[in-house]
Structure 1
Amino acid sequence: MKILTTFMLGVAFGVASSVSVAAPIDSIYTSLAVTSCKTLEADEEGAGSYQGRCPGTAGYQLDLLEGDIRQSITVLDPKGKEFPLDLWSTVSSGFSALGETAEWRVKKVGAKKQPIALIVRFNVSGDPEHPERTTSYLVVSKITANEICVTDVVKPRQGANQQARVLADKAATKACKSD
């Protein structure tokens, strides 16, 4: 019996220590407001297109794209490699607008915080007859060394923000949503 008790205590201590070693995941927020982004391209007259570079975190940046009253984001990694999220095809082709805040889920790696996922609000007008009626989705994208893409779309409901964070924290192992 003593051996079993000692073994169980050892297992309990081992599990407790492995849990405490895992780096906690936190959030860092950056702005997607046009006033916080540097305009790279704007065509007010023709198609009403816009491209602006918004600050991110840990060397990442976000390009805010707009065309034909639809918006999307391209993530730039610290080396400048572009990862288009193509929200207008992976989430909805309806008229759309991004929320003004990006939530980066980050893990502490050594002394630095490394982004593992991105959450943005994506407001979509799905009814052409009533464009004022919008649905506000939370879009979760994974960030790995080789891939940045949309993995989940959270529909509006109570607790949606927390659900998006849970999905973001597990996004690295998920497949990318296809168009």
Structure 2
Amino acid sequence: MKTFALFAIIFVSAATAFSQTSVYTDLSDTKCKTLRSDDEDGILYKGECAGVAGYKLHVIEGDLRQSIDVVFPNKTVHQLRFWEHFMAFSYTGPRAEWRIKNKKPFALIVRLNVSEDLNDPSKTTSYLIVSKITKDFACVTDVVKPSKDQNVQARKLADASVNNPCMVAGSEK
């Protein structure tokens, strides 16, 4: 009986661990619909990218800094405001990773390349920004610094993000 109970616990734990999957959204301007391309309100570019389960992403660029907004199925927009976490010039990576459970996104991972060297803006540091998505809002929960297992770390943080508080700008350093 103990063996059966132990097997059942392992099986349920494994099933839960593997029930999270990833789906990717291409963030390139050739794959996203341009909503705005001017310099009104400091926003130079706004593109809408396909998402999952009725969610979409807006890629926002202003003053050589990029960020992401998460658009919920009910059309409410939740700004992630990457530029509040990094003041230097920045641009997003080529795709966003949605973490999915039960066919709904619960987290988002986006690469942000930041020009932290004022003497050579072409030198960038590549961070992974982890955001949680609840039924009511989306917010940044973690910033993963470059490392050999950066992607694995980001996925682990994303999978636990529902329990993590929203990050206060400036606390990632």
Answering whether residue 27 of structure 2 is matched by residue 37 of structure 1, we say no
- CA–CA separation in structure 1 for the residues paired with 2:20 and 2:66: 28
- CA–CA separation in structure 2 for the residues paired with 1:155 and 1:29: 21
Shift of 1:24: 1.0
Aligned length: 168
Answering whether residue 97 of structure 2 is matched by residue 103 of structure 1, we say yes
CA contact (8 A) 2:55 2:73 kept: yes
State the TM-score, normalized to the length of structure 1. Answer: 0.87
Query: Partner residue of 1:122?
Result: 112
- CA–CA separation in structure 2 for the residues paired with 1:173 and 1:58: 22
Structure 1 residues 15 and 127: CA distance shift in structure 2, 3 A: same
Answering whether residue 125 of structure 2 is matched by residue 135 of structure 1, we say yes
- CA–CA separation in structure 2 for the residues paired with 1:46 and 1:148: 23
Classify the secondary structure of the residue corresponding to 1:128.
coil
What's the RMSD between the two structures over aligned residues? 1.9
Shift of 1:47: 5.9
The unaligned stretches of length 5 or more in structure 2 are none
| Superposed structure 1 runs of 4+ greater than 3 Å apart | 44-48
Classify the secondary structure of the residue corresponding to 1:137.
strand
Query: Partner residue of 2:155?
Result: 165
CA contact (8 A) 2:127 2:144 kept: yes
- CA–CA separation in structure 2 for the residues paired with 1:47 and 1:144: 29
- Pick from 49, 55, 59: which aligns with 1:60? 55
- CA–CA separation in structure 2 for the residues paired with 1:44 and 1:20: 50
- Structure 1 residue identity aligned to 2:99: R
Q: Equivalences for 1:78-97 in 2 at 5 Å?
A: 78-89=73-84, 91-97=85-91
- Pick from 9, 12, 34: which aligns with 2:6? 12
Structure 1 residues 140 and 107: CA distance shift in structure 2, 3 A: same
Query: Partner residue of 1:3?
Result: none
Task: Spell out, residue by residue over 1:27-76, the C-alpha distance to the aligned partner (whole angstroms, 9 max, x if none).
Answer: 10110000111111112799671111111111110111001100101101
Query: Partner residue of 1:155?
Result: 145
State the TM-score, normalized to the length of structure 2. Answer: 0.90
Shift of 1:104: 0.5
Shift of 1:21: 4.9
The unaligned stretches of length 5 or more in structure 1 are 1-5
Structure 1 residues 46 and 57: CA distance shift in structure 2, 3 A: closer
- CA–CA separation in structure 2 for the residues paired with 1:143 and 1:45: 29
CA contact (8 A) 1:48 1:69 kept: no
Shift of 1:10: 4.6
Larger radius of gyration: 1
Task: Spell out, residue by residue over 1:82-110, the C-alpha distance to the aligned partner (whole angstroms, 9 max, x if none).
Answer: 11000000x301000001101111012xx
CA contact (8 A) 2:69 2:78 kept: yes
CA contact (8 A) 2:43 2:60 kept: no
- CA–CA separation in structure 2 for the residues paired with 1:53 and 1:130: 31
